Amino acid sequence: MSVTLARVEPSIAGVGDYIALMKPRVMSLVVFTAVAGLMVAPGHIHPVIAFVALLCITVGAGAAGALNMWYDADIDARMARTAARPIPRGRVTPGEAAGFGFTLAAFSVAALGLLVNLAAAALLAFTIFFYVVIYTIWLKRSTPQNIVIGGAAGALPPMIGWAAATGGLAIEPLLLFLIIFFWTPPHFWALSLYRAQDYARAGVPMLPVVAGARETRRQILLYTLILAPLGASLWPLGYAGPIYGCTALVAGAGMIALALRVHAERDGHAASKQMFGFSILYLFLLFAMLMVDRISGGLFGHIAV
């Protein structure tokens, strides 16, 4: 009677591979907007509690990124933009990525609930669920509206930051949510215009693949025309001061100008690439000025700083 023993090969993944699984670029934007939500919230939060909250949000964002890469490994392998990610390269196995992601998700939600508050933990859990299950598993492969609906996951971090500081929600974090929600389609559709062949090869029904470049350019313009006044609305509504308001007006005008260029573009993708890059700057400026406004005492008139 012979006994066959299974040999377990050692993992070749390094620390850098696991960091890459967490999508550090996306994670940095998540953390940045969460910091803004936490800072503009009324009242005072202890610095240690604030640090713990942001650490949990960071880990939760990394968990969502790892689970996204685990499920999308087949798509990533067929796209030039993502072929060098850890799983397609064979540096991390799908099982390792899934275990890593689920562990981070459970830790981040539990720690946030135990050490900060349940409201923030519930929002973080919902964000991870929405990004992994609703967007990654369902919407991304089934509809060209994947970015529109799925963008809600990326718009939730300011609300998590606010909830971490206050234990609840209000109109202000909802407005921040809406700004990111309407920013997401023109941002990603600008990218998808010059990556359309990549998405088509991977079988992802992005808007340019399904509806064509002309309709995508039209949708970019429509969403930008909603985004620009929405981004500036915090000032006349009394939730932000003139520092923020002037920045939002100028940056919003820049977004509209680029959207018009994208709409008029027929050959090449120069305007689309410019809009993709500027849209990142746009969101950074708005949330950075919110924090500057809060520190200067000009964001919410009813808050004592």
**Rounded to whole angstroms, how far apart are CA atoms 187 and 300?**
29
Q: Is the Cβ–Cβ distance between 213 and 252 less than 8 Å? A: no
Residues 154 and 203 in one domain: no
- Domain of residue 256: give its range: 179-305
Domain shared by 97 and 187, yes or no: no
Q: How far apart are CA 35 and CA 131, in angstroms?
A: 20
Q: Which pLDDT score, from 0 to 100, does residue 302 have?
A: 38
Separation between Cα atoms, residue 243 and residue 292, nearest integer Å = 8
State the average pLDDT over residues 16-27: 93
Residue that the structure tokens 């340019």 belong to: 208
* Domain annotation covers residue 4: no
Q: In Å, what is the CA distance from 209 to each residue of 73, 109, 140, 160, 204?
A: 20, 36, 13, 34, 8
Q: How many domains does the chain have?
A: 2
Residue-wise pLDDT for 257-290, tens only, equals: 999 999 999 877 999 999 999 999 999 999 999 9
**Does residue 249 carry a pLDDT above 70?**
yes
Long-range CB contacts (within 8 A, 24+) of 225-229 = 225/256, 225/259, 226/182, 227/179, 227/182, 227/183, 227/186, 227/252, 227/255, 228/252, 228/253, 228/255, 228/256
**Cα distance from N-terminal residue to C-terminal residue, the chain:** 78
Amino acid at 231: G
Q: How confident is residue 136, by pLDDT bands cut at 50, 70 and 90?
A: very high
The amino acid occupying position 84 is A
Average the pLDDT over 100-107 and give the result: 98
| Neighbouring residues of 259: CB distance < 8 A, sequence distance ≥ 6 | 186, 220, 221, 224, 225, 275
Both 74 and 209 in a single domain? no
Last residue of a domain, one of 102, 134, 169: 169
Give 126: exposed, middle or buried? Use CB within 10 Å, 0-12, 13-18, 19+: middle
pLDDT at 21 over 50: yes
Give the mean model confidence (pLDDT) for residues 234-258. 95
| Residue 305, SS3 per DSSP | coil
Same domain, 107 and 184: no
The C-alpha atoms of residue 69 and residue 33 are separated, in whole angstroms, by: 22
Q: In CATH, what number is assigned to the domain containing residue 111? A: 1.10.357.140
pLDDT of residue 20 exceeding 90, the answer is yes
